[in-house]
Amino acid sequence: MQEKKTTPEKEAALKSLREQFKGADADTQARRTLEGLRKFPLTTFELMRGLDVYHAPARIRDLREAGHNIITMRQTVTTEAGVKHNVGLYVLVQEAGPQEQAA
C-alpha cells in the first residue's frame, strides 16, 4: 500500500474546521467529520488528530445512518513514532438527501 502523509494545507483546513465546530459531543464530532469529508478523504488518524474525533468509526456510522454514502478504503500511515499502521480512509461519495437527513 502507498503511504500518505497529511499536507500542511490539509492540516490547516482541519484546524479551521475544528475551531469552527467546537464541542466534544457526538453530534458536533459528526458535523466536523462531515464538513471535513466535504473537502477531503480523511483517515482515522486525520479525524483523531486534525478534527478531534476520537472514535472515527462511530461518527462514520452515525453519518451513514443519516443517509450519507461513505466508503472505507485502507491506507498505510506512519505515526510520529515512526510506526506504520493500516487505517481507514473515508471518502464521501454522496451526501444524504433532505428527507434522509431529517430522519
Sign of CA dihedral 20, 24, 27, 29: positive
Q: Are 47 and 21 in contact (CB under 8 A)?
A: no
CA torsion 12→18→21→25, rounded to 10°? 160
CA distance 101 to 34: 12
Q: Which residues pair with 14 in a beta bridge?
A: none
Q: Is the pLDDT of residue 1 over 50?
A: no
pLDDT tens, position by position, 10-63: 999 999 999 999 999 999 999 999 999 999 999 999 999 999 998 999 999 999
pTM of the model: 0.86
Residue from 66, 57, 51 nearest 97 by CA? 66
Q: What is the pLDDT of residue 103?
A: 45
